[in-house]
A and B are shown apart, each in its own frame.
Chain A
Amino acid sequence: MPNAIEIAHNTLLAPASLSDSDLDRVMDQLLTSQIDAADIYFQASRLESWVLEDGIIRDGNYNIEQGVGVRAISGEKTGFAYTDEIALPSLLEAGRTARAIARAGSQGNTRLSRTAPTQQFYAPLNPLESMTEEEKIGLLRKLDAEARRQDPRVQQVIASLVAAHDVVLVAASDGTLCGDVRPLVRCNVHVIVEADGRREQGSSGGGARESFQFFVDEERALGYAREAVRQALVNLEAEDAPAGSMTVVLGSGWPGILLHEAIGHGLEGDFNRKGTSAFSGRIGEKVAADGCTVVDDGTLPGRRGSLNMDDEGTPSQCTVLIEDGRLKGYMQDKHNAHLMGGHSTGNGRRESYAHLPMPRMTNTYMLPGQHDPGEIIASVKRGLYAVNFGGGQVDITSGKFVFSASEAYLIENGKVTRPVRGATLIGSGPEVLTRVSMIGNDLELDAGVGTCGKDGQSVPVGVGQPTLKIDNLTVGGTSA
C-alpha cells in the first residue's frame, strides 16, 4: 500500500501537474515580503452519508470538496486566502493575496523536503469503498430492526451512516512537506419511544478512523441500536431533576466532555498567548486535586480525535496538561508556540483548507485512579449520578462551563435509585477539578462521537475519563 505522502501527492498535485519545485516557487513568492512563516494546505475530501427513517432509506448524499489554503505570517499578523481550484495560477494569486499582510522585505529561498510519515495511527484507506452500497443500507436496515425488536414502545428510528475520506498535503516555509490520509466513519441511532402519552428520545452512536467494518466488528452498531432504546426507556421513567449544588458522580467515558470544556479549551495556546483564558499564566499552579492527570493524546490508534500529523504537518503527540493536580502545559500550534517561545505540540488543526489553523484538542482524557466505581457510588449520601451527556460549552475568560446530562440518576444513601430528567451542570473550570474527591480505576474513552466547535470551525475529537466524584457541582434541575 502506498504511504500517505504518495497518496496525497497523487491525489492533490499530480492531477494539476504541480511539482515540488512549483511549490518551492509559490513558497518563495510568499516569502518575498516580511513574512516569518508561510504554509500551503492542499485538501481533497469525499463525504458520503445515508439516512434511514420510517423504515426506509430516505436520503443519501455525496459531497466532493477540494481546494488549497495559503497562509502568510508576519509577527502576530496572519494573511489568508484560499481557492477551490488546485492549479498553479490560482495558487500564485492566493499567495499574493495572503502575503499582502506585510510589505517589502527579503528574498525567500525555501527548499521543501518530502517527509515520509513517521507514525501511523490509522491506515490510509478509503472508508467509502470499504463496503458496497448494498452492505451499507443493509446495515442501516438491521439497526432499524434491532431497535424495534427491543421494545414495542419504539415509535421512530432514525439511523445514519457517514464516511469521510480526507487527503491533505502541507508545505511550509520551515521545509515541511508531508501528507496524511484520514479516514473517518460515524454511525448513529436515534429513537423515539412512547407510552401512555409520554414521549422520550434516546440516541447512541460511535465512530473511528477505520473502515465500515468497525461497526460490524463486535456487533458495535447493533449495540448502538440497543443502547439508544435503553436510554429512551430509562428517560420515560425519569422524574424531575434536582436543582442546586450537590455531589455529582460522573460515569466513565463520554462524561469526559467535562475535561474538554472545563480544562481543555482554557489550555489552548492562542487564548493563553493573549491572556484571555482563566488559566493564563498559571503553569505550575495547583488547578486540580491530587491524583488528577489530564492529557491530550492524538496518538491513540484509530480514535476519532487521533491524527498522524496535525494540519501544520507536526507529528501528533501526547501532551500532559495537568500532572497530579498541577498545570503542566498548553496545547500549541506553530504560530502561537513561536510567539510564546515554545514548540508546537501537534495541536494545529483546521476544519478545512478554507479555514485558518489554530490550537485544538485531539483526544482529551484523565488517567485512572484507585477507586472501584461501586465504592465511589457507595460513598455518596445524596447526589447525582450522570452517565450520558449532550453537548457542552465554555466561556474561557470567566472559566464558567456547562455540559448537559441526557441520562442521570439520583444517588440516595450510597445507592443509585431513580432516573431523573436531563439537566445542565454548571461550574468553574479552574475550580471544578480541585473538588474531585475520588477517581475511579475504570478509564474509558468515548465511543467516537465528539465534534468540537471553536470560532465557527468543527473538528472531530475524543474524550475520556474514569468514574469521578466531584463535591459540589451545580445541577440545573427544576426540583428546588
Chain B
Amino acid sequence: MSEQQLSARQAQLEQMVHDLLKEARQQGASAAEAAVSNDSGLSINVRKGEVETIEHTRDQGLGITVYFGQRKGTASTSDFKPEAIRDTVRAACNIARFTNDDPCSGLADADRMATETPDLDLYHPWDITPEEAIELGRRCESAALELDSRISNTEGASVNSHGGLHVYGNSHGFVGGYPSSRHSLSCSVIGQQNGSMQRDYWYTVSRDAGQLESEFEVGRKAGERTLARLGARKLGTRQAPIIFRADIAGSLLRSLISAISGSSLYRKASFLLDQLGQPIFPAHVQIQEHPRIPGGLGSAAFDSEGVATYDKRIIQDGVLQTYLLSSYSARKLGLQSTANAGGVHNLSITPGEHDLDGMLREMGSGLLVTEMMGHGVNMVTGDYSRGAAGFWVEQGEIQFPVEEITIAGNLKQMFAQLQAVGRDEERRSSIRTGSLLIEQMTIAGE
C-alpha cells in the first residue's frame, strides 16, 4: 500500500471505530471501546526446490466492548458491512444484559490515555512478488540441502510478509492507530544417520525486510543445527546445572510475565503472590520493559485499552519492582494500570559478560537445553517439568547431543538460582534474553 492509500485506509478504520462507538451509545451503552484491524499478506512455502503452497491472506476483524454502568458485553466479527456492525453492537449489548455488575469493570482511566501516537517505525512494506519469494525460498532451502549429504529430507523454506493497520478507540474520546509490518524467512530440514532422523530449523524475522538475515545464512544455520542433533542419545537420571540457550530461554521469562500479570495475581493463580519488593532473582538480574523501541517487534505507543506505554524496571537488582497490570486487574488489586493490557511490549533481561562458550565454561559439566516440549508448567505452584533435547557438556565443552529426557524443578527456585545471563542476546522476539544458566535441576532419562 502506498503512503496515501495507507492513510486513507487508516482514516476509514478510524471512522469505523467512531461508528461503532456511536452505535453503542445509540443502543444505550454508557461507555464503549472498539478495535478494528485489517491485515494482508503473502505466505509461500518451497520444498525440494518446488513451490508447495502460495497463500494470500487477507484478514480483517472488529471487536466492541460495551458497558452499561458496571456490566459489560463484548462481540466481534470479520464482517465489515454496516448491518453486520449494527448486529455486532447489538450482540454485545445483549450480552451486557446478562452479565453482573462488576465494580472493577470499565474503561481505563481517562487521564492515562496516550496523548500522542509517535511514529515507532513499525511499517515497512515489502514489495516482493510471489515469484521473487519463491526464488528466495529456493536459495534458502538449497543452502541447507547442500551443506552435507546427511541432510536427507526437508520440510522446506517459507517466506512470509504481512502488513496491516490496527485502530483502537473508546468513549473517552481516544482514537489511535498505526500501521505495522512483519516479515520472516524460515527453513527446516531433516538429517539422517544410522536410520534415525532429526529435524531442526532457523528463522529470521523483522518489521523491515532489509533487516532480515540473508537466505544463505538462514539455510546454513538450519542445516548446521540439524546436523548437530544427529546421533542424539538419552542421559541417565541425575541432578545437574542447566543452560537454556538464548533462542528458547525466552520461555522462562514468559513464565515470569504470566506469574506477575494481574490476571494471575487477583485469581491467586500465581506462584509469585505478594512478592512485590521481594528478591525473586539473584542481585545481578535486571529486567525491564521498553515499549517504544523504534522498529521493535513488540513496540506500541499504547496498550489494548489506550493507556500510554512507558519504560519500566520490572526486576532491579533481583527485586520485583512492579506487577504487570491492565486497568481491570489493577482495580481488583487496588493498584494502577501499568499499561500492560494485552501483554508486555519489548521485555529484556540485561545481558551478562559471557557469550555461549563462556557460559558453557562457567557451567563446567551440565546440560545445554536447545529444545523444550510440552506444557508441563503449573503456574499456581511453579512446578516445572518439560521434555527437552540439547547437548551434554563436560569441562565447558559440548560432548554429544541428547534427547528423550525431561528437566524438572520449581520456577521459584529456578529464578532464585539464575546464576548467569549470557550476552548472546536473542533479538527475534519481543522478549530479549541471552542464554540462562540455572544452578541445578533434575534431569530424568534412562
State the A residues within 8 Å of B (CB): 50, 53, 56-67, 76-84, 97-98, 100-101, 133-134, 136-137, 155-156, 158, 192, 194, 199-201, 241, 243-245, 274-276, 278, 354, 356, 390-395, 397-398, 400-404, 421-428, 474-480
Asked whether A58 and B99 contact (CB < 8 A) given A354-B57, A422-B376, the answer is yes
Complex Cα distance A356/B56, Å?
A: 11
Report whether A53 and B267 are in contact in the complex, using a CB–CB cutoff of 8 Å: yes
Complex Cα distance A38/B194, Å?
A: 41
Report whether A84 and B198 are in contact in the complex, using a CB–CB cutoff of 8 Å: no
19 additional contacts, CB 8 Å, given A424-B386, A476-B385? A56-B99, A58-B105, A60-B73, A61-B73, A64-B84, A64-B87, A80-B53, A84-B60, A243-B444, A245-B445, A276-B197, A393-B375, A398-B232, A402-B373, A403-B374, A475-B406, A476-B408, A477-B408, A479-B442
Complex Cα distance A63/B170, Å?
A: 20
* CB proximity of A72 to chain B, nearest CB, Å: 10
Complex partner residue of B190 from A77, A397, A425, A479, CB under 8 angstroms: A397
Instruction: Check B417 for interface membership: any CB of A closer than 8 A.
Output: no
Complex Cα distance A432/B364, Å?
A: 34
Chain B minimum-CB-distance residue to A199? B380
Query: A-side binding surface: helix, strand, loop or mixed?
Result: strand
Complex Cα distance A401/B57, Å?
A: 32
Instruction: Check B138 for interface membership: any CB of A closer than 8 A.
Output: no
- Name the residue among B60, B101, B376, B389 with the largest chain A CB count within 10 angstroms: B376
**Residues of chain A lying within 8 A (CB to CB) of residue B94:** 62, 133
* CB proximity of A321 to chain B, nearest CB, Å: 20
**Residues of chain B lying within 8 A (CB to CB) of residue A158:** 267
Report whether A398 and B196 are in contact in the complex, using a CB–CB cutoff of 8 Å: yes
* CB proximity of B122 to chain A, nearest CB, Å: 22
Complex partner residue of B386 from A57, A275, A476, CB under 8 angstroms: A476
* CB proximity of A71 to chain B, nearest CB, Å: 9
Complex partner residue of B373 from A57, A67, A101, A400, CB under 8 angstroms: A400
**Residues of chain B lying within 8 A (CB to CB) of residue A356:** 53, 55
- B78-116 interface bits toward A, Cβ cutoff 8 Å, 1 = contact, 0 = none: 111000100110011011111111100100000000000
* CB proximity of B129 to chain A, nearest CB, Å: 11
Of the listed stretches B18-26, B44-52, B213-221, B245-253, name the one at the interface; the rest are far from the partner chain.
B44-52
**Residues of chain A lying within 8 A (CB to CB) of residue B267:** 53, 156, 158, 192
Complex Cα distance A281/B304, Å?
A: 49
Report whether A275 and B77 are in contact in the complex, using a CB–CB cutoff of 8 Å: no
Instruction: Check B322 for interface membership: any CB of A closer than 8 A.
Output: no
Report whether A79 and B74 are in contact in the complex, using a CB–CB cutoff of 8 Å: no
* CB proximity of A236 to chain B, nearest CB, Å: 10
Report whether B54 and A80 are in contact in the complex, using a CB–CB cutoff of 8 Å: yes
**Residues of chain B lying within 8 A (CB to CB) of residue A194:** 268
Report whether B374 and A392 are in contact in the complex, using a CB–CB cutoff of 8 Å: yes
Asked whether A67 and B78 contact (CB < 8 A) given A62-B92, A79-B54, A422-B376, the answer is yes
Report whether A480 and B238 are in contact in the complex, using a CB–CB cutoff of 8 Å: yes
Complex Cα distance A79/B51, Å?
A: 10
* CB proximity of A388 to chain B, nearest CB, Å: 13
Report whether A156 and B92 are in contact in the complex, using a CB–CB cutoff of 8 Å: no
Complex Cα distance A60/B92, Å?
A: 8
Report whether B406 and A424 are in contact in the complex, using a CB–CB cutoff of 8 Å: yes
**Residues of chain A lying within 8 A (CB to CB) of residue B139:** none
Chain B minimum-CB-distance residue to A245? B446
**Residues of chain B lying within 8 A (CB to CB) of residue A76:** 47, 50, 52
- B9-39 interface bits toward A, Cβ cutoff 8 Å, 1 = contact, 0 = none: 0000000000000000000000000000000
Report whether A83 and B58 are in contact in the complex, using a CB–CB cutoff of 8 Å: yes
**Residues of chain B lying within 8 A (CB to CB) of residue A274:** 47, 153, 155
Report whether B79 and A84 are in contact in the complex, using a CB–CB cutoff of 8 Å: yes
Complex Cα distance A477/B443, Å?
A: 8
Report whether B199 and A398 are in contact in the complex, using a CB–CB cutoff of 8 Å: yes
**Residues of chain B lying within 8 A (CB to CB) of residue A394:** 373
Report whether B155 and A276 are in contact in the complex, using a CB–CB cutoff of 8 Å: yes
**Residues of chain A lying within 8 A (CB to CB) of residue B232:** 398
Chain A minimum-CB-distance residue to B226? A397
Query: B-side binding surface: helix, strand, loop or mixed?
Result: strand
Complex Cα distance A391/B385, Å?
A: 12
**Residues of chain A lying within 8 A (CB to CB) of residue B88:** 62, 64
* Between-chain CB contacts (< 8 Å), 28 pairs: A58-B100, A62-B74, A62-B76, A76-B52, A80-B54, A81-B56, A84-B78, A84-B79, A84-B80, A137-B98, A156-B269, A192-B268, A200-B380, A243-B408, A243-B442, A276-B153, A276-B197, A392-B374, A400-B403, A404-B374, A404-B376, A421-B378, A474-B404, A475-B406, A476-B385, A476-B406, A478-B409, A478-B410
Chain B minimum-CB-distance residue to A242? B444
Asked whether A474 and B102 contact (CB < 8 A) given A276-B190, A404-B375, A480-B444, the answer is no
Asked whether A62 and B95 contact (CB < 8 A) given A78-B52, A398-B198, the answer is yes
Chain A minimum-CB-distance residue to B413? A478
Report whether A393 and B387 are in contact in the complex, using a CB–CB cutoff of 8 Å: yes
Report whether A421 and B383 are in contact in the complex, using a CB–CB cutoff of 8 Å: yes
Report whether B385 and A404 are in contact in the complex, using a CB–CB cutoff of 8 Å: yes
Complex Cα distance A63/B410, Å?
A: 38
Report whether B102 and A56 are in contact in the complex, using a CB–CB cutoff of 8 Å: yes
**Residues of chain B lying within 8 A (CB to CB) of residue A82:** 56-58
Instruction: Check B360 for interface membership: any CB of A closer than 8 A.
Output: no
Report whether A400 and B97 are in contact in the complex, using a CB–CB cutoff of 8 Å: no
Report whether B408 and A478 are in contact in the complex, using a CB–CB cutoff of 8 Å: yes
Complex Cα distance A326/B102, Å?
A: 58
Report whether A57 and B374 are in contact in the complex, using a CB–CB cutoff of 8 Å: no
Complex Cα distance A80/B407, Å?
A: 41
Instruction: Check B237 for interface membership: any CB of A closer than 8 A.
Output: yes
Chain B minimum-CB-distance residue to A421? B383
Complex Cα distance A156/B263, Å?
A: 13
